Amino acid sequence: MLPKSLHLQLTAIYKAAPEGGYTSTFEELPDVFSEGETIEEAKANLLEALELVLSYHRDEARKSQSHEFSTVRETFEFATP
């Protein structure tokens, strides 16, 4: 039986940079990171970095699976409250 809903939670970490501004990453996805002059800018840039990383991996996966006839894809959408 499939769950009626799925809750995905990521924890953003913001650290003050010595040169000013903030660096940001996700605790669960340390390879996704960014920076900004303010926490708000760092957050926006971090979300953009997440979108770019997911898009890159999606494209790479599709290239490697292009000749597999039994591949089934399903898209999940997550929205922030």
Q: State the pLDDT at residue 81.
A: 62
**Is the residue at 28 inside a domain?**
yes
**Is the residue at 51 inside a domain?**
yes
Does pLDDT of 2 surpass 70? no
pLDDT digits (tens, 9 = 90+) for 3-15: 666 678 899 999 9
**Is the residue at 45 inside a domain?**
yes
Does pLDDT of 21 surpass 90? yes
13 and 26 Cβ atoms separated by less than 8 Å: yes
| Separation CA 20–CA 66 (nearest Å) | 45
**pLDDT average, residue stretch 21-50:** 97
| Separation CA 37–CA 21 (nearest Å) | 4
Closest by CA to 34, choosing from 4, 3, 12, 25, is 25
Domain that holds residue 16: 12-56
Token couple for 46: 């971090």
Percent of residues, the chain, with pLDDT higher than 90:
59
Total structural domains within the chain? 1
pLDDT digits (tens, 9 = 90+) for 66-77: 666 677 777 777
**Is the residue at 64 inside a domain?**
no
**Is the residue at 4 inside a domain?**
no
